């Protein structure tokens, strides 16, 4: 096996056993980046010297019998809205050109404390909205990798790095993970700190995790989850043992959501999803079709209102000074959000509370809900990042969701199934996802 094909869990275990050094792994991944980056364009900034220096330091620690944590020596990427001390953090925008933070986002700090190595900053759409990044999909470079966490998904999908951070406010982590054939988790709102991340909409922003296996996602969540005094929205609930949870696998009770999702999925997506559901049922899952609550009908409109108003609030001063530097789509979001009446924003927050309450009753009946992850395979062209409508309900509600590869479209692009669970039920969600991953198999690699 090539070193770039190792999952994070496999690489960490090999480093612990002294069968692999952090230096060897970093050099193998940098070689992979050098070969593919001119085509894929996943990276906004690659910290070659810093990664090599840290790999040598971590290698010396291994030689002395000292390990910092479960990710010792494992490289990762961070979307370029995550503050990274001493490295450019430009959010895909001329507005932030040249900005270099003096501290790490809490997520970045926590994985570094666990021994991980920051390889660099991955491209994002401008301020994590709609104006696209230059990144191509490693499965077909003429197609989008999704967004807004475009570079994060492409870097992991192309085997340039085993782990990456993205974010999701509507559909910006789970969708690109699916488009690039990955496992992607959006945890419960507040499960992971947002401190040190450039916001889009404070009350809907989530950290997203991307990897190539459920086991890697569980490991990364273990390291990053937990209360952060610097983020008043972060949960104070105890963090379960996620790696232990995925060992307790049993056939899940699955609520299949055909309404809305299958109606809007194209024929290819519907076919592959139906085949995946059949395979899960044959493997022992208890699958029952179920209906969405009444409030679902207005959650997409409410979500978009919240995003526009909160984005306008964050960008108000910057926009007043540098409006001409913003690209068209993010500028329209800010300017529209500034015009939305407060009563409409408050009504959207009320809709969100009602939807959360109604979903709680539905989720009590199942371990997970299941939908297709995306309406279509990754669209052709880099002008659009695809449609987030299959993720938006779980972003506005803050419910955890995960995508798993489940097959390929007729054109050879990866497709996924999306699982949703109750608030702070990541342990149950990951357990069900690991069982489904066993039944469906892990997705193949792109032929780059």
Instruction: Give CA–CA dist 113/94, Å, rounded.
Output: 31
Instruction: Give CA–CA dist 438/432, Å, rounded.
Output: 10
Q: Work out whether the CA dihedral 405, 407, 409, 411 comes out positive or negative.
A: positive
Question: What integer best gives the mean pLDDT of the chain?
Answer: 98
Residue 241: per-residue pLDDT: 98
Residue 443: per-residue pLDDT: 86
Q: 4-51 pLDDT, tens per residue?
A: 999 999 999 999 999 999 999 999 999 999 999 999 999 999 999 999
Q: What does each C-alpha distance from 408 to 138, 268, 384 come to in angstroms?
A: 14, 9, 21
CA 70 distance to own-chain centroid: 20
Which stretches of 44-164 are DSSP H helices? 48-63, 106-113, 150-157
Query: What percent of the chain is modeled with pLDDT above 70?
Result: 100
Q: What does each C-alpha distance from 428 to 38, 248, 292, 437 come to in angstroms?
A: 40, 9, 21, 14
Q: Is the pLDDT of residue 362 over 90?
A: yes
Q: Where are the domains of the chain?
A: 3-256+365-440, 295-358
Q: How confident is the model at residue 270 (pLDDT cuts 50, 70, 90)?
A: very high
What residues are labeled active site?
79, 148, 172
Q: 197-214 pLDDT, tens per residue?
A: 999 999 999 999 999 999
Instruction: Give CA–CA dist 430/433, Å, rounded.
Output: 5
Q: How confident is the model at residue 1 (pLDDT cuts 50, 70, 90)?
A: confident
The pTM assigned to this predicted structure is: 0.98
Strands (E), 99-205: 117-122, 163-168, 183-186
Domain 3-256+365-440: CATH architecture, name and number where available? Alpha-Beta Complex (3.90)
Q: 284-328 pLDDT, tens per residue?
A: 999 999 999 999 999 999 999 999 999 999 999 999 999 999 999
């Amino acid at each position: 096996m090539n070193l770039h094909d190792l999952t994070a869990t496999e690489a960490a275990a090999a480093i612990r056993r002294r069968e692999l050094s952090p230096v060897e792994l970093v050099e193998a991944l940098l070689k992979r980046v050098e070969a593919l980056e001119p085509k894929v364009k996943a990276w906004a900034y690659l910290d070659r010297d810093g990664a090599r220096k840290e790999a040598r330091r971590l290698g010396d620690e291994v030689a002395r019998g000292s390990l910092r944590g479960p990710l010792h020596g494992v490289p990762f990427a961070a979307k370029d809205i995550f503050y990274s001390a001493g490295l450019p953090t430009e959010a895909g925008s001329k507005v932030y050109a040249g900005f270099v933070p003096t501290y790490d986002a809490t997520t970045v700090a926590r994985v570094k404390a666990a021994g991980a190595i920051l390889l660099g900053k991955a491209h994002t759409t401008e301020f994590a909205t709609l104006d696209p990044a230059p990144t191509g999909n490693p499965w077909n470079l003429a197609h989008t990798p999704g967004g807004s966490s475009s570079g994060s998904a492409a870097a992991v999908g192309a085997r340039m790095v085993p782990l990456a951070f993205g974010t999701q406010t509507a559909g910006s982590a789970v969708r690109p993970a699916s488009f690039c054939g990955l496992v992607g988790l959006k945890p419960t709102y507040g499960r992971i700190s947002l401190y040190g991340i450039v916001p889009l909409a404070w009350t809907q922003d989530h950290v997203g995790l991307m990897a190539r296996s459920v086991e890697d996602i569980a490991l990364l969540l273990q390291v990053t989850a937990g209360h952060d005094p610097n983020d008043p929205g972060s949960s104070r609930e105890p963090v379960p043992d996620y790696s232990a949870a995925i060992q307790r696998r049993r056939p899940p009770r699955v609520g299949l959501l055909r309404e809305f999702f299958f109606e809007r999925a194209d024929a290819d997506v519907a076919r592959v999803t139906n085949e995946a559901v059949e395979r899960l049922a044959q493997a022992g899952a208890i699958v029952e079709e179920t209906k969405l609550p009444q409030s679902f009908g207005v959650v997409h409109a409410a979500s978009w209102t919240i995003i526009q108003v909160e984005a306008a609030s964050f960008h108000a001063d910057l926009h007043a000074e540098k409006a001409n530097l913003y690209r068209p789509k993010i500028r329209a979001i800010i300017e529209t959000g500034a015009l939305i009446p407060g009563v409409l924003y408050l009504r959207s927050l009320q809709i969100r509370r009602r939807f959360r309450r109604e979903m709680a009753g539905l989720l009590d009946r199942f371990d997970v809900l299941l939908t297709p992850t995306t309406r279509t395979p990754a669209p052709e062209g880099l002008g659009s990042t695809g449609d987030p409508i299959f993720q938006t309900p779980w972003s506005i509600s803050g419910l955890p969701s995960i995508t798993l590869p489940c097959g390929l479209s007729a054109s050879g692009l990866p497709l996924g199934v999306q699982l949703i669970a109750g608030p702070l039920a990541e342990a149950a969600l990951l357990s069900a996802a690991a069982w489904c991953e066993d039944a469906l198999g892990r997705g193949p690699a792109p032929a780059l």
